[in-house]
Amino acid sequence: MVGLSALPAQVAQAAPPQVLPTPQSIVAEGAPVQLAGPVTVVADTDVDAPTKRELTQVLAAAGATVTWSTTTPASGTVIVASVTDAETQALAAQLGVEPATDLNEEGYVVANGVVSGRPTVLLEGKTDRGLFYSVDTFGQLIQGSTMAAAKVRDWPLMSIRGSIEGFYGVPWSHQARLDQLDFYGAHKMNTYIYTPKDDPYLRYQWRDLYPAEELEQLKDLVDEANANHVEFVYALSPGNDICYSLDADYEATEAKFEQLRQIGVSSFYVALDDIEPYLTCAQDLERFTLPGFRKLAEGQAYYLNRIVDGFINPHDLRPLQTVPTNYAGSGPDAYKEQFGTSTDDSILIQWTGEGVFSDQITMASVAAAKVSYNTDNLYIWDNFPVNDGQPDRLFLNPLTGRDADLYQLIAGFTSNPMVQSYASMIALAGYADYTWNGPAYQPEASLVRILDELAGDDPVVREALDVFVDLNQDWRPYRPTSEQAPELGADIAAFWAAYESGDEAGAQALRDRLAIIVDLPDTLESMAVEGFYDDTLPWLEAASEWAGALENAITALEKVDGDRPAAAAAALESRDLRTAATTNKRISGLENPTGNPVKYVPKVGDGRFDSFLTRAYSTYLEELGAEAITSVPLPATGSRSDRLGQWQTNSIDRIVDGDLSTLWWSNTAPQAGDYVAVDLGSVQPIGGVAVHQSDGDEIRADMFYRAELEYSSDGQAWTSLGQFDDSPLITAGAPEGAQARYVRLRATASNPGGQWVKIREFRVFGPDAQVATTVDGASVASAFDAALLTDLTGTAVAGDTVTRTLAEPQTDATIRLLGTAVGEVQAKVDGDWVKVGDASGQWFEGHVRGAVTAARVVLSPGEVALTEFIVVPFVGPEPTPTPTPTATPTPTPTPTPTPTPTPTPTPPGFTPSAPYTLPGLHTIDGRQWSTTCQSYSQTTRCRADIWASVVIRTSSGFQVRKGWAFNNLTYLPYMTRAQWANNPLGHTGAWTASDGRNWYTECDTAKTGRGGCRSYTWTTVFAATAKPGGGYTFSQSNKWVFNNIVMFRNG
């Protein structure tokens, strides 16, 4: 290439754009270079093809018109791209930067300035790979069409940077693997270890050569890896049935490797993980004689060394790699010592850290591991973000927990990604940045950059992706301190603080976040990396349902004091969305023995969404007055599967000791079929069950994660009470008439992550005499448990009932039904059943006067799903605040003379109308009314209450609350004027009642019309006037307030 003359003195510039991975040295010196328009790239004709491809794309994006040349033009913008040589070294000197000569094999230099009047860029690599990486950095320095002034000298601190496709589960598609290799090249990653568990020619048919079609696909991967300067490492897994000393098995290994070498593979790996820890063939047992586990290491070392001597070295291939059978922990043991001592010093050995999953990997741990394995060629197989042990989760955390200076001790890392290849790119980008320059690695900066890349340019999509990633930050149990959905958690905390203080504006942040989550399946469909959307769609849909459940729960809380029918609809819709989110199995796993894929329910935002709903549902039901009606637990003894054992002194008898602070703790993880049970001693009626797992009713730690609750009278035939996933607290009602001696909680699948089990209490309750139903097979306890997630369900026949008997009579009561129960609601008053109203939708509320001892709904034929049956004291009326306040009423004036008795008249034709004379709940002009009617002497008296804001005077001042407020009494036209003659409510006049209050009645006026009277009482009225800036101005006055109307019967 033609030399260039010296450039003018350097001018300091603004800081260059952020480059990731962070270069070892980058300074804002040189001169900005405008790339739009003609640009000449000076490069040899045999310039690295991947570099030429990438540089062409970068320049095209900047608006350049590119000419490729081997000589420098007389004018115009020049880019010199070359592996280091005398000419690039001279140009580096002219640009004031040290050349790439002394960098490691993957180092590079990027610099710019003005040379001989020409804007000039230098891209210099120590090798072709370094030159390729220089183009990536060059592209990041371009903003629009201008390259920022910069001098960069850069090289990786770790020589192995990549991934190992080593997970169990649904394998990546061929296209996904190709896209991964492109991604690695774009992020300066150089290693891809091919060892998918589904490739039979790697494992169970490892001795067989690949058929032509499969070999062609592998060649596609090898070619794509080479096109991105990624090392394709072929990892054979012969350990299940190999005879290490058998010539035929060695020859099969060599033949397989040679087949791969012929398509371009130059890096080979023998995986000895996840196999039986002993020799399996007679010839090995005879040949290898060291004691204990040393014998296995001796045989494996013999086989590996034979590959090095017989295949790797003769073909001048890259060093052989392996993962030993004991691949975790830094402490010494006989196997590790023998393996490291016996294997060839050139072999690279992988290690997973202190555990299979390592929360932290420290300098001290790695140093100890190098000693225990007796090797200087240790590098890490990092089991993050792999999710094959928890296929229902995504781990979208940035990489953390790895000491910054590990490059001083190890050759590098390969990440074991998730089944979802594109979703794994978040973590993989972190590995790229960390392994290149650990001391400069910033997890949050790396996360922001990769989310920008995945989302694309749309800010709405970018914000939505941030919100979704926040929902998948939990890496438990592998990292016990990890926090799930921290940003959602902060908004939830702010919501509850605002709710408790009455600050409606404080809830808006949560509402805004939930709206974004609800729309995730639509919003993220247009993100730049479509594969990420496809990978995560099951979780996006589940998150949307969870968020919808929270939105409706908030609506229920907001409306419970003002619009109870709407609140009920929202609460039940929330419950339905939560059920969908927790039961829809959207994730397909590998096929089971029947040929059908195993399906999983996505977990997303768990610990946040569900905890919020638990509190919201409880708060909502408390506002309605719901309370659980339970009996004392039945005496029982506990038992368990033999497999589950006992950790330390935490014995099984603690599950029935009545103490939630003690527990039974297994000493192993459950498998399908394992159980914990209680024995009631004899067959007896049962009403419900509560199993308190883990360390708390809302803590997901050690517990049964997939379980079924069952009961039996003989221990042989079992009846299910329901299946439960991820439920620290399990509650269930038994069908009416259920009889059992044994109740058990049985695992339906193995626990994820090897979690053990803790049970604090396993309680079985007998039927409660206060509640009953005649609906066949229905669990009556489910309608009286103050729980939104359970229903009394069944098919009613005409006349079936659900009944609540009160422990003691209640003077005046309100009856509320939440859920579906069509029929007539009745109350037992003074020994007689009286109609309160008709239930027909998702909500019923009615009021009844008198001494109430029971309530029931007499059902119409059809399906029943009664969530809660609530009986609470009737809340007395309060005055309504401004601008037109309602006075504190007196429903029944004093004195109340008894009307002159006469024979009971035949009731005339009268049609009741809402809201004053028609019993039931009414909505008129958006206001809620409640009307109850009762016999009064020889007529009927109806009381109308309205749901309104009321002013309460307390010792500290006034408060405004929502509640039912008395409006008026109406006496129906069943008595004549003569029959009211001795009652002051029935003729014009004024009087003073025995309590000192003044009354007056007017009849046959313009207000009353002919044939009626209205009565008023002199009352103190409290009023509240809203202030423009918030709050109220309170006032107090005395005035005449309307109380009741009497309607006369003609005749």
Give the residue numbers annotated as catalytic, written as ranges: 274
In degrees and rounded to multiples of 5, residue 696 shows phi and psi of -175, 160
C-alpha distances out from residue 301 to 232, 317, 318, 336, 717, Å: 24, 19, 18, 11, 54
Residue 622 CA to residue 519 CA, distance in Å, equals 31
Q: End-to-end alpha-carbon separation of the chain, Å?
A: 123
Half-sphere exposure of 892 (CA within 13 A, CB side): 9
Phi, psi of 524 (to 5 degrees): -80, -5
The structure tokens 């589904």 sit at 198
Whole-angstrom distance, CA of residue 437 vs CA of residue 408: 11
DSSP string, 949-1001: EEEEEETTEEEEEEEEEEEEEEE-S-SBTGGGTTSGGGSSEEEE-TTS-EEEE
Q: Tell me the C-alpha to C-alpha distance, in Å, between residue 12 and each of 32, 116, 147, 150.
A: 11, 20, 15, 10
**415 and 193 Cβ atoms separated by less than 8 Å:** no
Can you tell me whether residue 829 is helix, strand or coil? strand
Alpha helices in 627-728 (DSSP H): none
| Distance separating alpha carbons of residues 87 and 120, to the nearest angstrom | 14
Say how far apart CA 791 and CA 143 lie, in whole Å: 60
Strand ranges in 167-230 using DSSP code E only, listed in sequence order: 191-194
* Joined tokens for residue 256: 């397989």
Rounded Cα gap, residues 569 and 575, in angstroms: 10
| CB-CB contact of 531 with 421 (8 Å) | yes
Write the CA distances from 231 to 126, 194, 264, 410, 843, integer angstroms: 17, 10, 10, 18, 66
Tokens standing for residue 760: 């604090």
Do 325 and 364 form a contact (C-beta atoms < 8 A)? no
List residues bridging with 968 in a β-sheet.
944
Helices (H) and strands (E) in the chain, counts: 19, 44
Please say whether the beta carbons of 35 and 123 come within 8 A: no
Contacts of 1004 (CB under 8 A, 6+ apart): 988, 1010, 1011, 1012, 1013
CA–CA separation, 144 and 151 (whole Å): 19
Tokens of residue 669, six digits:
């993880």
Rounded-to-integer distance, Cα 66 and Cα 52, Å: 11
Report the distance separating Cα 42 and Cα 689, nearest Å. 79
**Whole-number Cα distances in Å, 4 to 80, 399, 906:** 11, 44, 120
Non-local (6+) Cβ contacts of 402 within 8 A are: 360, 361, 382, 413, 434, 438
- Alpha carbons within 13 A on the beta-carbon side of 179: 16
| 24 HSE (CA, 13 A, CB side) | 16
Q: Is 402 within 8 Å of 353 (Cβ atoms)?
A: no
Please name the residue ranges forming H helices in 310-399.
334-342, 363-372
> Are the C-beta atoms of 353 and 361 separated by less than 8 Å?
yes
